[in-house]
Amino acid sequence: MGKIIIAIVAVLLFSLPLSCMSLLTDSYGASKEAESIKYPSSLIHSFIEGCYVVFKDVKFKSDTIWTTDMKEICGCVMDGIREEVTLDEFINDWSRKLTPEQESMTEMFGMLCTEQIIKEKLRNQKDPA
């Protein structure tokens, strides 16, 4: 699981320069919390698409989850990273080989998000309303 997330981050980092070119630096009065999770939408989209491609290529839990579930997991991982890592830190510190702390963080988010999506899917199957 951790190697998959690391591969996803690597794919994202290749697309990072293009994403950052479109980043606006003005906050327009955003709260400090909102500012801490502000990533350009192109970066978020690139991460989710790259993550999905890696999941699909390695057939991650393909017997358990659907394509849309994989994208939800990828979005959840990105949300977790955005909450813990500022955009500047992500650009400056995550562009090289991941540190053990970064690997641990991505593995944790990957496991939590996968578990969350699977539980949600099972709950929806039990309650068709």
Indicate the average pLDDT of the chain.
75
- Of residues 24 and 30, more confidence is placed in 30
> What pLDDT does 1 receive?
62
pLDDT band at 5 (very low <50, low <70, confident <90, very high): low
User: Which residue did the predictor score with more confidence, 127 or 72?
Assistant: 72
Contact 110, 2 (CB under 8 A): yes
Per-residue confidence (pLDDT) for residue 56, from 0 to 100: 77
Q: How many CB atoms lie within 10 A of CB 5?
A: 26
Give the per-residue pLDDT at 70: 85
Owner of token pair 């690997």: 103
Residues 6+ apart with CB under 8 A from 67: 52, 56
Compare 128 and 49 and report the one with higher pLDDT: 49
Q: Would you say the C-alpha torsion 11, 47, 93, 112 has a positive or negative sign?
A: negative
At 112, the amino acid letter reads: L
Mean pLDDT in residue range 33-61:
78
Mean pLDDT check: name the lowest of 40-44, 67-71, 73-77. 67-71
With 0-12 CB in 10 A as exposed, 13-18 as middle and 19+ as buried, what is 2?
A: middle
CA-based angle 20:46:36, to the nearest 5? 55
Q: Is the pLDDT of residue 76 over 90?
A: yes
